[in-house]
Structure 1
Amino acid sequence: MTRTKVMAWVGGGVYVLAVGLLVAGAPRASGTVHGIGALLAVSLLVGVLRSRPILALAMTLLGSTAVVVGPPSTAHVDQSAAYQGQFLSYLAVDLVLGFIVATRTRRSSTVTVATSLVVQLLLVGGFAHGDGLAVNLLIALLAMAAACTAGLLSRERREHAVQLRAQEVAEAVVAERLRIARELHDMVAHSIGIIAIQAGVGSRVIETQPEEAREALRAIEATSRETLSGLRRTLVALRRTDPDAEVSGRAPHAPSPGLADLERLAAATADAGVRVDVCRGGQQRPLPADIDLSAYRIVQEALTNVVRHAGTGRCRVAIDYGDEELSVEIVDDGRGATEDGPAHGFGIVGMRERVALLHGRITAGPRPEGGFRVAARLPLPVSAAVGVEAR
């Protein structure tokens, strides 16, 4: 038997002893003293109440009833007044009822409240007399109603807190799923687009220009390896909470891409038939990882759309390191958008989500002079601006 159970049973035994002393050991005390004594004695049942609340209610109900029906006060004291004071003991029952309503099932709460109500009404009706009958009945009903109301409010507050926690967990899961979806889309869509174009080129020239076909296959191999590395890196990040989920015998995975990899991204896009001019402005410096990755993914998705939809042979990427924000702009002179809008799928949606998470701004749409423009502004934290001033 655990220490908690021992203390609970000891408390229950002392409560029974205390009630016995009130009833038999202090027959000359007033009814008010008996009632207050029974009310204070219920504190001994805290351990029982936590583990077995129904048993605690039964003990409290029996103890309070024993105080009411036990020996009244001395003969020279009006018995009606004595019983009115003894009815205070039922406040202890109401306290236990409030706890049961707050913590137990609705069915158990309903049964216990109904049982307690019947017992209290019978005892008050049987031992209260004259003008005190109506007053004591009213007080008993109001006290029980107050205790049950407090219990219901506590139950609703606890259930509301549980619902809020469940909602927060669900929102966190959805946010994580969206983050993974964006990362996979931005990482895979660009590579698959390049692979598809290179495969098409290779299939057309494999007979007439074998050297060009070999170049296309080499580009497909390099892009595939890079994509596989990115997928493995993403999977490792997803399994990071499991210390046993390490891939043994492998070289360490490369860090997440950033703006430092734009030239390599431009070269891969050039292999797909679109020349990319990269322009950098402002004081270049290390950026926070989330901003660096998001800026890279925005450029990557914009270049993917240029390769797949623009129908042009070149585009321009401009990166400006401002004091307070990072500006990213991708402009092409291709077809722009059709009347119904370009079929960019989830690409631009993912861009907007990334920028929104960083509290930035983004515009994406056709230019009046032709082509398409994507422009994003990502706020930089104060530490990044301080870094510029230090240099």
Structure 2
Amino acid sequence: MPPTSAELERLAADVLANILTALQRSGSSLVHEGSLAVGIESQVRSILAETLTLLGVEASELMAFPAQEAGFESKGSVLAQRDYNPAEPLAVGEMVFDLALPRLVGLLGRQDAARIAQVLHRAIWRRFPPAALGYVEALRVRLIESERAANGRLARELHDRIAHGILTGLQQVELARMRADGEELASAERILRATLDDTRRLAQDMRLSTAGRSLDEAIEDFVLRAQGEAPAIRFAVLGEPMALTEKVTAEVFAIVLEACRNARTHANGATEVVITAEWTEDDLVVSVVDDGDGSGTSSPGSGMGIAGMRERAAGIHARLEVRDALPGTAVVLTLPHYPFSERGGAAGSAESEPR
């Protein structure tokens, strides 16, 4: 005779009560004000209902369970958003198995205990891989959003405090110059103006983001925003673009921005900066070339920018070179495709003219 609805409800209630007691004793964050966290009870009931159904017992009154695993990923996302320790749901899964198995064997006495254990195990553990993926994805999104917010805050600080302070100092120098026309004051004014311009560019660049875009798209947007500034910036794409991970895309884009900033600040006489992204079967080669007098790599202040670019390149297993371009200076980044990309991820023609 199959179990009655009352027996099935007692089974679920007993398992849930024991899980609550165990979690309370351990001080788990999955217990709030004497109750299980939202979603835990429904998951336990879903596991029991799935197990019983696969064993031929009608259990729809306990809880409907998903036939597909798509919904499990959202469960992991919720856990991450609420800052739960990912180890705790795993512990609950073990508790469900240890508590439910002997009760199921007692309730379904005619069925093979090994078969019951196998079905229960599958019902529990098929939920965890997609839930773990959802958890990791939610954390990744939070990290990206956190970095974007931090960049925004820094951009505002650069604009509102540093640039404002430099402007105030510049005004004071201009007043002093009106009273004493000295070459030193004129030189100080030029330096302050150049620093102010560089700070403003830095703040503008930091507002740029690669989020959700390919490398080529991010660079194209940067070039578009830079129109009207000197030296002019053009962009060329060679070969078939490939999809990069978001981290690698962000790092390569940051290197491009820094190389352009270096060229604008230190490449004397430069009238043009050309960015080229060359995609081959084995690697991506991104070059930033100016047509200045070749002084960009030796000017005061340029060394720190180059050091930062080298650090970023090393972090993604790429190679960065700074060399003479005759005329001008070339910054060349070489990034092996494996393991950061896969063929066919980015749209684009096989070859395009500089833009």
TM-score category (smaller protein):
0.3 to 0.5
Whose relative contact order is higher, 1 or 2, with alpha carbons under 8 Å and at least 6 apart?
2
Larger radius of gyration: 1
| TM superposition score normalised by structure 1 | 0.34
Greater share of helix residues, 1 or 2?
1
| TM superposition score normalised by structure 2 | 0.37
